Chains A and B, each alone.
Chain A
């Protein structure tokens, strides 16, 4: 099983966890990404996630398939929130069940890292000073293009989660 889904309502980890239960599995690992109240030195009041649903699900499920093949885990599940979120809310949930704990931990880590970099989901932060901004996008204007070309990590800087 490898299912990726987007949700406009709060995630329910206890239900997600049940989807992973399997008599052949002796280990289960999960990761939860929560909305943090600061990023890049600024106080964050709330967030908004936006996803490009068909491609987000497709790319998310490709990542889960990769994790199963690469680490030999039994089941992998990822659920991501979209829409407005408050500080402390659960933004993303990843769970994996496997025969042993080692591959469960490794696969879980692989999934969350890949999801952050590859799945078309965007995050807008609303700051205490009244400003707001799309994370990773604010420095991507044409004029700044030159400076960013020499920085291979420009899209690998992340806030919450």
Chain B
């Protein structure tokens, strides 16, 4: 049995109280967030839609795309997810919030490649609190029933819904990819970071192998892992793994080895490198 076809939905319905303006129209590099999200998602799915409230159906920015209007309005993002599954119940949906300025195509491709269609949903684990991120996730057709049950019980939070259900949880290859924007200050900070990142050619993913020894092996719960990451140096990689694997050792106590030789925390990593973080030694 093949997996249901994947449609895409970009959420723009929010009222953005904290931002005090329409988030969909915020621009990065001369393109609106909505245009950027649609450009990223459209090539990866069979069809791509914009989620709207009924009163936004004729908004020119949104009307340029195929739209799906909320069926059960004013419930937050769950309204849009529900409307999409309701409109095309035989399809799986890649749901994407439009306010993710750091999102890159690799993050979406990774999500699609690791989709588990036998589960209710496939989602990333938040870099901040390890909870599922519902606003860059794939909802399978049978999630409609789960959402309707949840709404019937007055439960509208899609995060809470995913944490209670059978979800395939993935670690983010780029831990900052889903950082979102809710205030004017965050918008300014994102612009600054994106400006710096584009000059440092961030966005290129490296495929690395990490080996763990001793106390770090026990904390990580594995001896080795292969990952795709935007980390450019061992220092950045350790910060990423420290969060993801719950490593408690501070980097000041560690040395790093790259390709079986002692390395430097700040030297650039190359695709295919094997990295080992060395806890304080105790031979003899």
Residues of A within 8 A of B (CB): 33, 49-52, 54-56, 58-59, 80, 91-92, 112, 115-124, 134-138, 140-142, 144-145, 148-149, 154-155, 158-161
**Hey, what's the 0/1 contact readout for B250-281 against A, CB within 8 Å counting as 1?**
10111001001110000000000000101111
CA distance A58 to B253 in the complex (A): 21
Question: A148 → chain B, closest Cβ, in Å?
Answer: 7
Residues of B within 8 A of A149 (CB): 252
* Chain B: interface size category: 20 to 34
Question: B195 → chain A, closest Cβ, in Å?
Answer: 30
Residues of A within 8 A of B280 (CB): 136-137, 140, 154-155
Q: Is the CB of B283 within 8 A of A80?
A: yes
Which of the residues A50, A91, A138, A158 comes within 8 Å of B213, measured between beta carbons? A50
B19 within 8 A of A: no
Residues of B within 8 A of A91 (CB): 284
Q: In chain B, what residue has the closest Cβ to A6?
A: B283
Question: A127 → chain B, closest Cβ, in Å?
Answer: 15
B215 within 8 A of A: yes
CA distance A39 to B213 in the complex (A): 22
Decide yes or no: A121 and B278 within 8 Å by CB, A140-B253, A141-B250 being known contacts: no
Question: A20 → chain B, closest Cβ, in Å?
Answer: 19
Question: A26 → chain B, closest Cβ, in Å?
Answer: 28
Q: Is the CB of B284 within 8 A of A116?
A: yes
Residues of B within 8 A of A160 (CB): 284
**Hey, what's the 0/1 contact readout for B202-233 against A, CB within 8 Å counting as 1?**
00000000010111010000000000000000
Residue pairs across A and B with Cβ atoms less than 8 A apart, 20 shown, are A49-B283, A54-B260, A55-B261, A55-B276, A116-B281, A118-B281, A120-B257, A120-B276, A120-B281, A121-B281, A121-B282, A122-B213, A123-B283, A140-B249, A141-B248, A142-B249, A145-B252, A148-B253, A149-B252, A155-B281
